[in-house]
A and B are shown apart, each in its own frame.
Chain A
Amino acid sequence: MNVTPDQTVYVDWGFVKLNATLVFSWLTMLLLVLGSWLITRRITATSDLTPGQNLMEVLVKGMESQIEEISQERPRRYLPFVGTLFVYIAVCNILSVVPWYEAPTGSLSTTAALAVCVFVAVPYYGIRHVGIGSYLKQYVKPNPMMLPFNIIGELSRTLALAVRLFGNIMSGSMIVAILLAIAPLFFPVVMHALGLLTGLVQAYIFAVLAMVYIASASKARRDKAQAEEDSSDAEDSEGES
C-alpha cells in the first residue's frame, strides 16, 4: 500500500506525473466550485433562503467571525485566503471517508504547498498592511540578535504546518489501513469517525494558525499606533503637570 497518494501515479511523462493527489485535488476543487456556483446562482437577499444558501451563510459567517476574533480587524480581506484553506482542507478530510477517495491532504506535497502559500501570504499581507520597512523591522525585534531566531522560527512554523497536517491525515489513513488488516469489522468504522473529527480539527488548526501568523505580521502597525497613542497621552499628562 501507498503511504501517500503521490505514489499512485496514473500517467507518467517523466517530471510531469498525473498522480492521485492531483486528480483528487481537482475533484475536490470541482466539487467545491460547482457546489458554490449551484447555491449562489439562485442567491437571494430576502429571508426566503434555500437550505444550501443558509448552510453557506452559516459557514461564511462563522469563518468571518473567527477571523475577526483573531485578527481584530475587518475580516473581508483575509476571508478568501484563510477561508479557502479551511474549506479545502476540511472537505478533503471529510471526503476521506468515501471509499477509494485518497485525501490530497495526506500528501506531503499538498500540505507543503499549502504551508508555502501561508509562508508567502504572511509577508504579502504584512507588507501590504504595514509597509515593507515596518514588516522587516519585526525580524530584528526585540534586538538584532534575534534576527536568526526569527527567520528560523518563520521557517520552522511553516514546516510544522505542513508536517502536522500531513502527519495527522496520513496517520489516520494508515491506522485505518492497518486496522483493516487486523480487525476488518467495526474498528475501521470507529477510526474513520475519529478521522472525521481529527480532519476537521486539523483544518481548523491550519486555518487558525495561518490567520495568527498573518495577524502577527500586521501586528506591527497596531503596536506602533498603540505606542503613538501612549506617548501622546504621556505628553498630555506632562503638559498638564
Chain B
Amino acid sequence: MQRLIWILMLLSMPAFAELKEFKLVLKDHLFYPARMEVPSGEKIRLLVHNLDGDPEEFDSFDLNREKVLFPGRINVIYVGPLAPGEYFFFGEFAPDTARGTLVAVPFAEQRL
C-alpha cells in the first residue's frame, strides 16, 4: 500500500512543480489575511497554518474544498485554476469569525 502511495506521489510531482505558494494563518479563529489576491488561470498551493489550539475545517463552496486543519499544524490545499473573481471560504467550526476571500486576478493586474 505504501508503494501505491509513493507511485501516486511520483505521478503527481510534475503537477506540483513550479506552483505559486500562498500562506494563510488561522489564529484566534480568524484567517490572516482575510482577503488575498491570487493569480487566475493557474493552479496554486495554499499553505494554511492553524495556530489555534483547536481543529478547524477549511470549507469553501466556491472552491469546492473541504479540509480539516489540525491544531498547530501546516495544511496544504491545492486550488484552481480559477477564473477571475472572488471565492469565499470559512471555517466550519467557527463560521462567524473564521472567514476569508481569495480574489483571483490575472497575473498582470496582481499587486506585488
A and B are partners in one complex rather than unrelated chains = no
